[in-house]
Amino acid sequence: MATGTEKVIGFLMSSQRPLNEYYLNEGVAWIDEAAVLAGIPSGSRSDGMLVKIDTELWWFKADLTTLEKVPIDAATTAENVAITDTSELYDATEVETAFAEIMNKHNVLQEEVTEMGVGTLQTSFTINLTAQSSVAVRVAAATETIDYPTGWTLSANSSVNLLVTHNLTGRKVSFVNVFEIDGSNERLLQPFSSAYSGILVNGLTVLIEGLAPTLLAVRIEILTNL
């Protein structure tokens, strides 16, 4: 059973000194932790006992030999609020950084949505190949950025097969068009017949099998999803 002095009304202080005399050092704030430990006898200390050091509020920890700043201001700061991420949704360990992760993902998504709204999100990519005797010679004559997108790689899988390695991470190829170019005229060739015999998509590669024709230049359109 707890014991102590019963009190039915509050204390009426006759001065501005605190009720706990050790809260201050002779009426003024303690200068540092060392002064507190030297000035307060161990028998007069208790776990959570408050003292004022300079302009800040400190309290004794359970061992009664160390003090810790009371996190009054920090408690309202998001960077000092830890999170328990049981679902492993964040890399962050506290609220401030978790908010930053959410905002970064929001900004990326917002940018994509904005691009979709103004029609600037590219979904069609063009490869231009000159008329040559084989796919290998066509590829050798092509120039990156001018004839095909920057960062892509073209190679001949065989004399008639074109292997395209792109950098569209997370995007899937939905269709491939091949136009035959004869002067200023472009004819859309029939897929799996006059354009090519097959399309094999695997991650960042697109294999266009049996690319035709060989007597004329071609423009290849690779269409992707968003």
Q: Where are the domains of the chain?
A: 76-118, 124-224
| Residue 143 clears pLDDT 90, i.e. is over it | yes
Q: What is the pLDDT of residue 123?
A: 87
pLDDT tier for residue 165 given thresholds of 50, 70 and 90: very high
Higher pLDDT, 127 or 109: 127
**Mean pLDDT across 151-173:** 92
Q: What pLDDT was estimated at residue 95?
A: 83
Backbone angles phi, psi at 215, to 5 degrees: -90, -15
* Residue found under tokens 């859309």: 188
Whether residue 71 is preceded by a cis peptide bond, meaning omega within 30 degrees of 0, is no
The strand pairing partners of 196, in sequence order, are none
